[in-house]
């Protein structure tokens, strides 16, 4: 049988390689294996998977981002394997989400009701797959995680540094998501079995290694359990873990926790702090040098710092939709917003100075900071027009698999 689902342009699709016509049997488990330069591991992985799963019907899906001859090795193996094998090779310029994107693509084309995600390098023992399946059935779980930290599990030969990084990432995740990760000792694992229908792929925005973590956080109500395992040694080739993957993880964690706008808020805050300095300088200049009454100076200082903030906000805070188009309109709105804010700050300033006896420079800074959050949300929603994201695309029925990683951003409501 030949894969009939249209594939992304230029992918190599082999499902399984043409052989005698056979009866299409829906497998029980689709094993999804993301691969990047794993040619030396594929034959052993397929052999051990077939041995381990015996009478349980399986399909294996390789989602490949390799530059070595992994695809060729997979094709050769598929000719002789008793298990149906799919190969989805992603071209170098179309690999959204890296490892996580590959896993999401694998899940989207899986035919079985259960999907087991595992690495190709045999650090995840294929012999555990039946245990994960038995556990899923006996505990009625939607997801069973192969955990290095559960009973009978261990991290194997990780370097002390990698152990430390892994443990800290896990602790951080558990602190940030106590509910979603309740009872999960290894949310960083790359080895798990999941009921295909329990994952809503449209909610995912995969990037990098931590796809299980994202699924757990974005899928409220998943029934979870774990099986401990020994994280083995890589059989051949090299690990693709990197500092860049660490940074990707931290960004994922912050996006999941605070929503995708957090980085704009941080940038807005930094620009705001620089604006406070400018405002204070201008206020001192008008009041001390020109001898203007501080309440009047505050009005003038606000125009100066608003100009400063506008230029920076326009260039570094928000991804301005269409370059300079609409800039005059945004400028007018931004000045209007800051002057309305000044209308609130004015009385605050006056009260702080005249009744509490604060220095006018200090009172000015307090008044600026106190309106920062309000100004951010006005700028974010009304001026730079970051409206709430539309719903994610639905899974095409029979169409090409969605390209993961280019979904509209998902709101925090979906995270629990």
Binding site for ligand GDD (CB under 6 A): 34-36, 38, 63-65, 98-99, 102, 119-121, 123, 188-190, 209, 239-241
Q: Which does 132 bind (CB under 5 to 8 A by kind): ligand GDD, Mn ion, none?
A: none
Start-to-end CA distance of the chain, whole Å, equals: 41
Nearer of residues 123 and 297 to ligand GDD, judged by Cβ: 123
Contact map string, positions 353 to 392, toward Mn ion, x by CB under 5 A:
----------------------------------------
Segment interacting with Mn ion (CB under 5 A) among 32-40, 112-120, 152-160, 291-299:
112-120
Q: How far is the CB of 90 from ligand GDD (least distance, A)?
A: 7
Q: Which does 136 bind (CB under 5 to 8 A by kind): Mn ion, ligand GDD, none?
A: none
Helical H runs in 259-317? 262-284, 294-312
Nearer of residues 110 and 342 to ligand GDD, judged by Cβ: 110
Q: Which does 35 bind (CB under 5 to 8 A by kind): Mn ion, ligand GDD, none?
A: ligand GDD
- For residue 64, list its beta bridge partners: 35, 89
Question: Which residue's Cβ lies closest to ligand GDD?
Answer: 190
- Would you tell me how many other CB atoms lie within 10 Å of the CB of residue 154? 13
Nearer of residues 148 and 345 to ligand GDD, judged by Cβ: 148
Non-local CB neighbours of 231 within 8 Å, separated by 6+ positions: 123, 124, 148, 153, 154, 155, 156, 158
- For residue 35, list its beta bridge partners: 64
Segment interacting with Mn ion (CB under 5 A) among 44-52, 65-73, 83-91, 111-119:
111-119
Q: How far is the CB of 57 from ligand GDD (least distance, A)?
A: 23
Nearer of residues 75 and 119 to ligand GDD, judged by Cβ: 119
Q: Are 39 and 117 in contact (CB under 8 A)?
A: no
What is the token pair recorded at 9?
Answer: 């342009």
**357 burial class (0-12, 13-18, 19+ CB within 10 angstroms)?**
exposed
Q: Report the C-alpha gap between 74 and 42 in whole angstroms.
A: 7
* Residue in this structure with the two tokens 């509910």, named with its chain if needed: 179
Nearer of residues 31 and 188 to ligand GDD, judged by Cβ: 188
* Residue in this structure with the two tokens 């702080």, named with its chain if needed: 352
Nearer of residues 10 and 164 to Mn ion, judged by Cβ: 164
Q: Are 381 and 373 in contact (CB under 8 A)?
A: no
Q: Are 198 and 219 in contact (CB under 8 A)?
A: yes
Q: Which does 115 bind (CB under 5 to 8 A by kind): ligand GDD, Mn ion, none?
A: none
What is the token pair recorded at 112?
Answer: 């079985």
Nearer of residues 113 and 156 to ligand GDD, judged by Cβ: 156
Question: How far, in Å, are 4, 104, 253, 337, 414 from residue 202 at the CA level?
Answer: 22, 10, 18, 37, 11
Q: Which does 272 bind (CB under 5 to 8 A by kind): Mn ion, ligand GDD, none?
A: none
Classified as helix, coil or strand, 293 is coil
* Residue in this structure with the two tokens 């023992």, named with its chain if needed: 125
Nearer of residues 241 and 312 to ligand GDD, judged by Cβ: 241
Q: Which does 240 bind (CB under 5 to 8 A by kind): ligand GDD, Mn ion, none?
A: ligand GDD
- For residue 62, list its beta bridge partners: 33, 87
Name residues contacting Mn ion, limited to 119-138 (CB under 5 A). Answer: 119, 121, 123
Q: Which does 302 bind (CB under 5 to 8 A by kind): ligand GDD, Mn ion, none?
A: none
| Contact footprint for Mn ion (CB under 5 A) | 119, 121, 123
């Amino acid at each position: 049988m030949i894969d009939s689902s249209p594939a992304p342009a230029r992918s190599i699709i082999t499902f399984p390689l043409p052989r005698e016509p056979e009866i299409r049997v829906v497998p029980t488990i689709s094993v999804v294996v993301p691969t990047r330069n794993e040619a030396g591991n594929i034959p052993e992985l397929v052999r051990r998977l077939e041995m381990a799963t015996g009478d349980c019907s399986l399909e294996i899906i390789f989602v490949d981002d390799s530059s070595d001859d992994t695809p060729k090795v997979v094709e050769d193996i598929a000719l002789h394997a008793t298990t149906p094998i799919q190969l989805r090779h992603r071209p170098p310029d179309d690999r959204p989400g890296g490892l996580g994107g590959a896993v999401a693509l694998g899940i989207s084309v899986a035919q079985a009701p259960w999907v087991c995600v595992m690495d190709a390098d045999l650090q995840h023992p294929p012999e555990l797959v039946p245990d994960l399946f038995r556990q899923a059935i006996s505990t009625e779980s939607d997801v069973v995680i192969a955990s290095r930290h559960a009973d009978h599990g261990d991290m194997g030969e990780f370097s002390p540094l990698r152990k430390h990084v892994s443990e800290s990432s896990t602790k951080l995740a558990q602190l940030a998501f106590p509910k979603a990760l309740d009872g999960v000792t290894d949310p960083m694992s790359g080895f798990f079995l999941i009921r295909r229908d329990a994952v809503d792929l449209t909610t995912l925005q995969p990037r990098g290694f931590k796809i299980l973590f994202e699924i757990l956080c974005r899928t409220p109500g998943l029934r979870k359990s774990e099986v401990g395992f020994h994280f083995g040694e890589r059989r051949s080739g090299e690990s693709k873990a990197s500092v860049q993957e660490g940074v990707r993880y931290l960004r994922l964690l912050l996006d999941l926790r605070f929503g995708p706008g957090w980085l704009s808020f941080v940038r807005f805050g930094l620009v705001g702090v620089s604006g406070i300095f400018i405002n204070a300088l201008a206020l001192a200049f008008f009041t001390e040098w020109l001898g203007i009454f501080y309440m009047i100076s505050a009005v003038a200082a606000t125009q100066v710092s608003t100009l400063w903030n506008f230029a920076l906000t326009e260039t570094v805070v928000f991804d301005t939709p269409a370059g300079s188009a609409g800039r005059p309109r945004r400028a007018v709105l931004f000045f209007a917003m800051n002057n309305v804010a000044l209308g609130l700050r004015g009385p605050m300033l006056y009260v702080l100075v005249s009744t509490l006896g604060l220095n006018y420079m200090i009172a000015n800074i307090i008044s600026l900071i106190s309106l920062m959050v309000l100004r951010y949300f006005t700028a974010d929603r009304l001026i730079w027009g970051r409206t709430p994201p539309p719903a994610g695309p639905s899974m095409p029925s029979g169409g090409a698999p969605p390209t993961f990683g280019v979904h509209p951003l998902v709101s925090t409501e979906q995270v629990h």
